[in-house]
Amino acid sequence: MSTPTITPPAPSGLRARLNRWPMLLWMTALWVLLWGDLTLANVLAGFGVAVLLLLLAPMPAVGYVGRVSILGTVWLLAKFILDVLLASVEVSKMALHPLRPPEGGVIRIPLRSESDVILTLTGVFTSLVPGSIIVEAHRFTGTLYVHVLDLPTSGGAEAFRQQVLRQERRLLYALASQEDLARAGLPRRRWWGGPGKGSDR
Amino acid sequence: MNWDLVREVVASAFFLTGSALVLIAAIGMVRFPDLLSRLHAATKPQVLGIILMMNGLALSLASWQVGWKVMPVIIFQLATAPVAAHMVGRAGYRTNKIRYDLMGVDELSQDLAAVREENDDPQA
């Protein structure tokens, strides 16, 4: 499906390293959150630690160039929260059901996107919804193997496969660029962050 | 209207639902038949359970400091739970700790068998 991409090397050079400002911002924010006090000293100390970490232990860049759609992201998160709530009830019912043991299965799901980031995030989001665990993720073919706790409640293997593909689709509309969408065979994103008409999301 | 009372009631509701979810997870651990389905119980209800309990904690202490501190707890829980589940599930699968007879569909075994045949390598 996709040609294997090589993980980009860690950035070399001072400038390239310091260019990772979102990482700086996140680490500083985390530092302040952990101290629990928004003071100038905390912010400065956090920033210093963040710069030091970026200089001493740079992580390889994810190599993701996308375009974040705010409305797409809102939809992604709203649907995710709803899914988690509903699925928690289903799994709880399953755990307490007096007679019927769960009837699981491992389902193969070939994803449409070629991006490692989308593969990972689809795995994480799918996995966070109760009732599904990623057993195996095959990067070169962009395939996830998901264990489903109970196939009948998910409506069978095919229904579950479609469910994960819709998760990936929401992620793509939230994070991917128009080119990525086209490559995954999806319609262009409109101004509201979703696909054109005829969409079933 | 007594807002402190409202806050306490909402926080208690969060605590109770959260703990109920964790209790159900424990029951699931005992009752589910095999490794993979137990993993579901062991890793998942926590996700919602811990979010609810953290919300309850922030509400009942009514402090912004705690409210903010609770956020990385939730974020890291969300970020690590799937990885932990994946690692255990994958290891279990690869070392045949799986009850294949309990599964209706197993497309990974099918694919692995196909690859093995292709390579003609019984060790693969």
Chain A contact set for B28 (CB, 8 A): 91-92, 94-95
Amino acid at A7: T
CA distance A54 to A61: 12
- Assess contact for B11 and B60: CB atoms under 8 A: yes
* Cβ distance of A134 and B82 shorter than 8 Å: yes
Whether B19 and B48 have beta carbons less than 8 Å apart is answered as no
> Does B76 score more than 90 pLDDT?
no
pLDDT digits (tens, 9 = 90+) for A99-158: 887 888 888 888 888 788 888 889 888 888 888 888 888 888 888 888 888 888 878 888
What pLDDT, on a 0 to 100 scale, did the predictor assign at position A68?
Answer: 79
- Residue pair A47/A100 in contact (Cβ under 8 Å)? The answer is no
Residue A4's closest CA among A117, A139, A107?
Answer: A139
Cα separation of A107 and B123, whole Å? 24
Q: Hey, which residues 55-114 in chain B have their CB within 8 Å of chain A?
A: 65-66, 68-69, 71-72, 78-79, 81-82, 85-86, 89-90, 93, 102-111
**Chain A residues near residue B24 by CB distance under 8 angstroms:** 92, 95-96
- In chain A, DSSP assigns E strands to 105-110, 132-138, 143-148
Do the chains contact at B24 and A92, CB–CB below 8 Å?
A: yes
Measured at the alpha carbon of residue B48, what is the angle toward residues A32 and B20, in degrees to the nearest 5? Answer: 125
List the single residue in A with minimal CA-CA distance to B76.
Answer: A30
ipTM: 0.78
What value does the mean pLDDT take over residues A71-94?
87
What angle do the packed helices A70-96 and B35-61 form, to 10 degrees? 120
Asked whether residue A2 carries a pLDDT value surpassing 50, the answer given is no
Comparing alpha-carbon positions, the chain A residue that sits nearest to B43 is A130
**pLDDT, mean of residues A88-101:** 83
**DSSP letters of A37-65?**
---HHHHHHHHHHHHHHHHHSPPPP----
For residues A89 and B22, the answer to whether their CB atoms sit within 8 Å is no
Handedness of CA B73, B79, B82, B84 (dihedral sign): negative
Measured between beta carbons, which residues in chain A are less than 8 angstroms from residue B85? 127, 133-134
Percentage of the residues of chain B whose pLDDT score is greater than 70: 94
Q: Which residues of B touch A94 (CB under 8 A)?
A: 28
Q: How would residue A19 be classed by pLDDT, with cut points 50, 70 and 90? A: low
Cα separation, A166 vs A140, in Å, equals 21
What's the pLDDT at A201? 44
pLDDT value of position A39: 86
Query: A162 exposed, middle or buried (CB, 10 Å; 0-12, 13-18, 19+)?
Result: middle
For chain A, give the mean pLDDT: 80
- CA dist., res. A37 & res. A15, Å (int): 30
Distance of CA A42 to the CA centre of its chain: 31
Q: Over 80: is that where the pLDDT of A61 sits?
A: no
Q: What is the rounded average pLDDT of the residues A70-90?
A: 87
pLDDT in the model for residue A105:
84
Residue with tokens 């264990």: A147
| Higher-scoring residue by pLDDT: A146, A12 | A146
Sign of CA dihedral B75, B77, B79, B82: negative
- Per-residue pLDDT of A158-175, as tens digits, reads 888 898 998 888 888 888
Position A54 pLDDT exceeds 70: yes
* Residue ranges covered by each domain of chain B: 3-119
- Each domain of chain A, given as residue ranges in start order, spans 21-56, 70-183
pLDDT digits (tens, 9 = 90+) for B7-18: 889 999 999 999
Q: What is the pLDDT of residues B30-59, one digit of tens each?
A: 888 888 888 888 777 677 888 899 989 988
DSSP letters spanning chain B: --HHHHHHHHHHHHHHHHHHHHHHHHHHHHHS-SHHHHHHHHHHHHHHHHHHHHHHHHHHHT-HHHHHHHHHHHHHHHHHHHHHHHHHHHHHHHTT-S-GGG-SEEHHHHHHHHHHHHHT-TT-
